[in-house]
Amino acid sequence: MPWIELALKGAYVYELELIKDNRGFFARTFFDQDLAEMKLNPHIEQCNISYNNQKGTLRGMHYQVAPATEVKQVRCTQGAIYDVIIDMRPGSPTFLQHVGVELSAENHRVLYVPEMFAHGYQTLTDDAEVFYMVSQSYAPQYARGLRYNDPALKIEWPLPVTVISPKDEAAPDYSPEKE
């Protein structure tokens, strides 16, 4: 699989290698040896699906702190999303910087999200479905969130937000005192 490192060290997008024939295609979406060779975390403990009815739906920005930090591998299996990650690693040269990537059923991209990166996305289509492979089980006591429109983060979402959970809407702005 071709891996492309993003501007935030340790974050990657990889494109599935499609083996096509008259039936359609076949593709390997995960191979732990690829990750191990790149010195990335290959462990998967939990898999999740989120389905989103409406274009403009926003989910995020979520992450977990130690001892429950998690790696995510995210793929849009139906429709399209704009996926954003924020480097929350203290001491990182890209701390609080973010990058956005379009993931879609058409482009077959997978986003590798390292530990201590906040993650969220906005749907670009109705009926968008997202599949996550996660290295750690959800641990609510270690779960953290940031407000999707925190002025300090300057994330430019492609669409107006049409649907957001009360929890995500009420997430705090970044504050160094909370770290």
Q: Which of 14, 112, 132, 148 is catalytic?
A: 132
Of 147, 8, 150, the closest CA to residue 87 belongs to 8
Q: Which of 12, 14, 62, 112 is catalytic?
A: 62
Q: If you search the block for the tokens 């959970």, which residue do you land on? A: 165
Would you say 87 and 142 are in contact if contact means Cβ atoms under 8 Å apart?
no
Of 79, 108, 87, the closest CA to residue 14 belongs to 108
Would you say 132 and 72 are in contact if contact means Cβ atoms under 8 Å apart?
yes
* 119 included as an active-site residue: no
* 132 included as an active-site residue: yes
- In our burial notation (b when 16+ CB lie closer than 10 A, e otherwise), range 2-28 reads eeeebebebbbbbebeeeeeeeeeeee
- Give me the residues paired with residue 99 across strands: 85
- Give the separation between CA 46 and CA 68, rounded to whole angstroms: 13
List, by residue number, the catalytic residues.
62, 132
